[in-house]
């Protein structure tokens, strides 16, 4: 039983691909990150090189993975208990500033290191889509290049709101527009909310970003945009639609459950000090 660590994306995808695709809902972030790194390049998330790893059991099967796109924390899948302390050893020569993993695995990984708790998230999977009733005023349409300047502002505002500001959102926005991945909610002749979804991966699509400017909230626009983006994913053939929420935000957690999303698992992020 051992961890294999590599900076070769395609080697990782070949070794861990079957494991990830066997449970695309739980592995949604890994699948979309692999896709983004292939499409946008290995430095899509920052100037430092990403690295990847997979845990192999005594029978030779993959039973856990990790991935880091610096400067973000190392992301872990669910792991067998023995893989957690082994990961500490496997990454001992790397500067690890933080991790995102199952909350119960954090003490074993941290050991005696001090850490500060960050965002706790919940993964939701769509059951039966239930549009808001009554529906918000307006209608949905796909964003186009004509909306690019607005999307640059809104994506930057979203990233700042969740605590992950980017220096430049143009490449991200252009990529979403390239596959028609942005749904806008229109009311009064102007966009009032957006919902962005990923490309399909192993039959799974993830709702990535939902944003309504603060001055336009509490009118149901986010629910309308999320419903429309979810329906677009289903119409394009997705068999699973998923999203993550911040557990500290009761409004979004309640909204997505009203729309038919059901909880799957919780994760936590910590930063070491």
**Ramachandran sector of residue 40 (left: φ over 0; alpha: ψ -120 to 50; beta: rest):** alpha
Query: Is there a contact between 26 and 102 (Cβ–Cβ < 8 Å)?
Result: no
State the Cα–Cα distance between residues 160 and 147, nearest whole angstrom: 20
Position 150 pLDDT exceeds 80 = yes
Q: What is the pTM of this model?
A: 0.93
* Both tokens assigned to 124: 């939701």
Which SS3 state, helix, strand or coil, does residue 178 take? helix
Distance between alpha carbon 269 and the CA centroid of its chain, in Å?
Answer: 13
pLDDT tens figures, 61-105: 999 999 999 989 999 999 999 999 999 999 999 999 999 999 999
Q: How far is 222 from 191, CA to CA, in rounded Å?
A: 11
Distance of CA 47 to the CA centre of its chain: 20
Q: What is the pLDDT of residue 30?
A: 97
Share of the chain above pLDDT 70, in %: 100
**CB 136 within 8 Å of CB 228:** no
Which one, of 230, 228, 185, lies nearest residue 206 by Cα? 230
pLDDT in tens, 11-58: 999 999 999 999 999 999 999 999 999 999 999 888 899 999 999 999
Number of other residues whose CB lies within 10 A of the CB of residue 228: 20
Note the pLDDT tens digit of each residue in 168-183: 899 999 999 999 999 9
Question: Contact, 74 vs 66, CB < 8 A?
Answer: yes
């Amino acid at each position: 039983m051992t961890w294999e660590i590599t900076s070769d994306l395609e080697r990782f995808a070949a070794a861990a691909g079957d494991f990830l695709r066997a449970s695309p809902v739980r592995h949604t972030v890994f699948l979309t990150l692999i896709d983004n790194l292939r499409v946008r390049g290995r430095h899509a998330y920052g100037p430092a090189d990403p690295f990847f790893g997979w845990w192999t059991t005594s029978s030779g099967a993959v039973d856990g993975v990790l991935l880091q796109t610096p400067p973000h924390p190392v992301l872990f899948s669910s792991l067998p208990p023995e893989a957690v302390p082994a990961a500490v050893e496997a990454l001992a020569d790397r500067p690890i500033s933080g991790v995102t993993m199952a909350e119960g695995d954090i003490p074993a990984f941290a050991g005696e290191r001090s850490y500060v708790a960050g965002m706790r998230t919940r993964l939701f999977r769509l059951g039966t889509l239930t549009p808001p009733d009554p529906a918000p005023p307006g209608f949905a349409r796909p964003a186009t290049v004509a909306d690019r300047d607005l999307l640059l502002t809104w994506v930057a505002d979203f990233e700042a709101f969740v605590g992950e500001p980017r220096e430049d959102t143009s490449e991200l926005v252009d990529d979403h527009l390239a596959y028609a991945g942005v749904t806008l909610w229109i009311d009064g002749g102007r966009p009032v909310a957006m919902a962005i979804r990923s490309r399909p991966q192993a039959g799974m699509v993830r709702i990535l970003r939902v944003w309504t400017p603060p001055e336009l909230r509490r009118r149901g626009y986010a629910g309308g945009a999320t419903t429309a983006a979810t329906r677009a994913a289903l119409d394009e053939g997705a068999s699973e639609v998923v999203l993550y929420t911040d557990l500290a935000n009761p409004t979004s957690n309640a909204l997505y459950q009203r729309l038919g999303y059901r909880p799957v698992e919780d994760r936590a992020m910590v930063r070491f000090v």
